[in-house]
Structure 1
């Protein structure tokens, strides 16, 4: 006979919200460990211990470390996409289409220098054999990348208004990202901190944006 008011023991699977909370906690913990230690040095056992979950609990949700890392990167990319949508909305009524593209390009530089982004891009490069040549998160598949699709849309707007030359919008968008992001991002992945200074970052961006628009030919 049970005591009146005693909590009932839960039987069966946990509610969906509990399961989602557990998955989120596992991903949070894994993200911190991957960023701090790298992919190879992080084990599923470490993740389980750090988030106070059983290994069986983790493996039911993420059958392998690669699957767990993929979930971490997917959530990171989802957050970046959400931030990008907010940035595009913020610039929607400001300036012409080229100015809106410039402001979003500046945002791309900043987001690619965020510590967590640098950490996971470094992992993707060092673990290319595990994740494929494009790296984790499908950074090489621009045709199906919703983040790149938003940038392509801004390029099209500028072309429509006669502010950018004609050409394949995806090619122009990829060239813009390479022009703006590649150098500072690689510098940060190699441990440099030059672009942590906002003034240095602004100066670099202004030069890179000018070269993107006008090229280097006399």
Structure 2
């Protein structure tokens, strides 16, 4: 059996996920990374690209027209694909929507799960900041609006979204809190579900609420940094944590 690869630093995982979280979705042409696809039958070696392309097309249409206002037929026409191509991958529109949501958050969740626990409190700080950026993405806000508008008509949609996004995020926050407690970085008794929910609510609650109402809070990176740093300091005071300064940036020689 081959030796497992050496663990990468949390900074590597988090910077890659941060790039994903801050990358905007082009609502007029929802082909992320500027990729376009020619109409016609895909070859075997582009199957993965087609899978991603279909998810991106579906994401754009769901955000523009809502869940109820988007059909598999619309997605197929926009993607220059057949309905059978989509149904071979997803058994229903609901299954496709959940795949879209999972794809949206996948990079961030993988960064959380793969982060080595060398400095849990600092890693929790990075991931909390990452979550703020993800929350304010236009496609993420569009997904929240869909769940609010159509969730009561499709209860299983909300349940699956929570299972695919909410619970994994929450579990990783609790995991990092427990690791920080074990290392003595926070006071005992704070590695709980409630503490994790208070932290995520404090970091994302107000910005998300204003954004869902059509306002535009935290327009600049400086405003986001200032808001997050104050929220993080408040959290550290509450749990008896120690403020950790961000790693100094190296100036190119």
> TM-score scaled to structure 1, two decimals?
0.74
Which residue of 177, 198, 223 maps to 1:155?
177
Which residue of 224, 233, 237 maps to 1:210?
233
Which residue of 128, 132, 146 maps to 1:105?
128
CA distance in 2 between partners of 1:136 and 1:39 (Å): 15
Which runs of 5 or more residues in structure 1 are unaligned?
1-13
CA distance in 2 between partners of 1:196 and 1:131 (Å): 33
Equivalent in the alignment of 2:73: 45
**Equivalent residues of 1:125, 1:135 under 8 A apart:** no
Which residue of 110, 115, 137 maps to 2:161?
137
Equivalent in the alignment of 1:197: 220
Equivalent in the alignment of 1:5: none
Equivalent in the alignment of 2:106: 78
**Equivalent residues of 1:124, 1:136 under 8 A apart:** no
Give the superposition deviation at 1:136.
5.1
Tell which structure's C-alpha radius of gyration is larger. 1
CA distance in 1 between partners of 2:212 and 2:160 (Å): 15
Equivalent in the alignment of 1:61: 89
**Equivalent residues of 1:77, 1:137 under 8 A apart:** no
CA distance in 2 between partners of 1:131 and 1:22 (Å): 30
> TM-score scaled to structure 2, two decimals?
0.65
Aligned length: 196
**Equivalent residues of 1:33, 1:42 under 8 A apart:** yes
